[in-house]
Amino acid sequence: MIMKPMVRNNICINAHPVGCARETLRQIEYVAARKKLYEALPGPRAVLVIGASTGYGLASRIAAAFGFGAATVGVSYEKAPSETKVGTPGWYDNRAFEAAARAEGLVSHGVDGDAYSAEVKAEVIRAARELGLRFDLVVYSLASPVRLDPETGVLHKSAIKPLRAPYRGRSVDVFTGRISEAEVQPATEEEAAETVKVMGGEDWALWIEALAEAGVLAPSAVSVAYSYVGPELSWPIYRDGTIGRAKAHLEATAAALSARHADRGLRAYVSINKALVTRASAVIPVIPLYVSTLFKVMKERGSHEDCVAQIDRLYRDRLYAPGPGGSPAAPALDPEGRIRLDDLEMSPGVQAEVEARMAHIVPENLATLADVEGFRLDFLRIHGFEVPGVDYEADIAPDYDPLEPAVPPEEARAPGDRAR
Ligand SMILES: NC(=O)c1ccc[n+]([C@@H]2O[C@H](COP(=O)([O-])OP(=O)(O)OC[C@H]3O[C@@H](n4cnc5c(N)ncnc54)[C@H](O)[C@@H]3O)[C@@H](O)[C@H]2O)c1
């Protein structure tokens, strides 16, 4: 089968196995080339990433493993390929990560299943015990439309909607360049509460509780969850909308977790990250137009970063910058207690320029004022398409596994070893 991207409304329903693996390796190479910068830092040794297969979670796992040499356990919910259908991008990303980790002698273990469930939490605890790991960093990077509550059996669905008043904003289809006016009706209180259930901090707290109770959380561990603030023009649909309410809950959970687990020295943070093209962010109204304009401005100024560059900075400058006595220094926080990794995005100069451009964008000047092509390429690449060096004319079977003949598992280090 010759595979071409199948995209509709900024959703891509297939993935190219070789391109996904190649993209993951590109991120690994980025971190590996900076390994020296990690050497003197008081980094983590055993890292659990919940939501590890794509986007910010994958970058977090890559930087922990290939920067610090940490053992990693990654949880994700992906579909394996079958004889008739290719797998989801994250399935190939996981394969590429695990093969590269083994080749480096790094301890890595993947758990594919519903992170919200009690079973997956138990499976991670079992794996940690078998591998002799106590997690000193837990990254919570889930982006999910639904959550099956393990206690009640109720399926909660998140919504991306404004609260109270309808939202009207311009959006762009990055494949056709068509600019359209999107209108989204306000959420009901029930939809807002459902979104908090899915994307708020409840499940993060359940994870920390389960790990602590099982004795697989190291003393003085760090946990970080990711959030977004963005420009005021997006607030009606994001920050002041249903998802913003969930993020406010997530942010409040960080403080609650640090207080609840103060006896074991846990420090829980929320990091506000930069807007980037991931499978989750491409479907939010206004975001493709804003992000395309932002990319153009930041690339012109030389301050653009992708997921792995953001996490490289999170680890080296914020979470593990050396402090007194060799332990990590406390990271700088904003008045709401959050790490701001979106500082470059939100700098007044960048925001003023983006706002001015967005007010004047019409189809005729779209390519000059905004980096729609950059958005389109990033979007295709996270699905394994248009990745440099990949032969897209090659005929591959849907269940082709580009890494099948990779390093055999027995060559991996013994569990529990501190990797090189
Ligand atoms: N993309 C952005 O612009 C941006 C900016 C700031 C913050 N964030 C935040 O970063 C976090 C990660 O988002 P992303 O954009 O990297 O998303 P993503 O879609 O690339 O990754 C989501 C991850 O969650 C996993 N996942 C989803 N449901 C799951 C389930 N039930 N069980 C196990 N795993 C599951 C997926 O397999 C994947 O690994 C989110 O909290 C998001 O709000 C994103």
- Please work out, in degrees rounded to the nearest 5, the angle formed at the alpha carbon of residue 120 by the alpha carbons of 117 and 125: 130
Residue owning the nearest CA to atom 27 of ligand 1: 144
- Write the residue with the smallest CA distance to atom 43 of ligand 1: 227
* Unique residue bearing structure tokens 């609650």: 256
Q: Could you tell me the distance, in angstroms and rounded to a whole number, from the CA of residue 50 to the centre of ligand 1? A: 9
Ligand 1 touching residue 75 (CB < 6 A)? yes
CA 281 to ligand 1 centroid distance, Å: 9
Choose which residue among 142, 207, 224, 271 to substitute to test ligand 1 binding: the one with the highest number of ligand atoms within 8 A of its C-beta. Answer: 142
Q: Pick the residue whose CA is nearest to atom 40 on ligand 1.
A: 143
Write the CB contacts of 147 (distance below 8 Å, at least 6 apart in sequence): 116, 155, 156, 158, 197, 198, 203
Measured CA to CA, the distance from residue 387 to residue 10 in angstroms comes to 18
Helix (H) or strand (E) holding 173: strand 167-173
- Round the average pLDDT of the chain to a whole number and report it: 93
Cα 94 to ligand 1 centre (Å): 14
Domain range summary for the chain, segments of one domain joined by +: 7-152+194-282+304-342+384-411
| Atom from ligand 1 closest to the CA of residue 225 | 41
**pLDDT on residue 416:** 39
Residue nearest to atom 18 of ligand 1 (CA): 55
Query: What is the pLDDT, as a whole number, of residue 9?
Result: 75
CA–centroid distance, 369 to ligand 1, in Å, is: 29
Is ligand 1 within 6 A of the CB of residue 114? yes
- Decide if 205 contacts 250 (C-beta within 8 A): no
Ligand 1 within 6 A of 116 CB? yes
* Nearest atom (ligand 1) to Cα of 273: 6
Which uninterrupted H or E stretch holds 90? helix 89-103
Q: What separation in Å is there between the alpha carbon of 410 and the centre of ligand 1? A: 31
What are the residue numbers of the active site?
A: 238
Q: Is 144 in the pocket of ligand 1 (CB under 6 A)?
A: yes
Whole-structure pTM value:
0.95
The span from the CA of 64 to the CA of 397, in Å, is: 33
Cα of 368 vs centre of ligand 1, distance in Å, is 31
Q: Is the CB of 277 under 6 A from ligand 1?
A: no
Ranges of the chain whose pLDDT falls below 70: 404-420
* pLDDT at residue 406, as a whole number: 45
- 230 vs 247: CA distance, rounded Å: 12
d(CA 292, CA 289): 5
**Protein residue with least CA distance to atom 10, ligand 1:** 226
Q: Is the CB of 276 under 6 A from ligand 1?
A: yes
279 touches 14 (CB < 8 A):
no
CATH architecture label of 7-152+194-282+304-342+384-411 = 3-Layer(aba) Sandwich (3.40)
Ligand 1 pocket residue status of 374, Cβ below 6 Å:
no
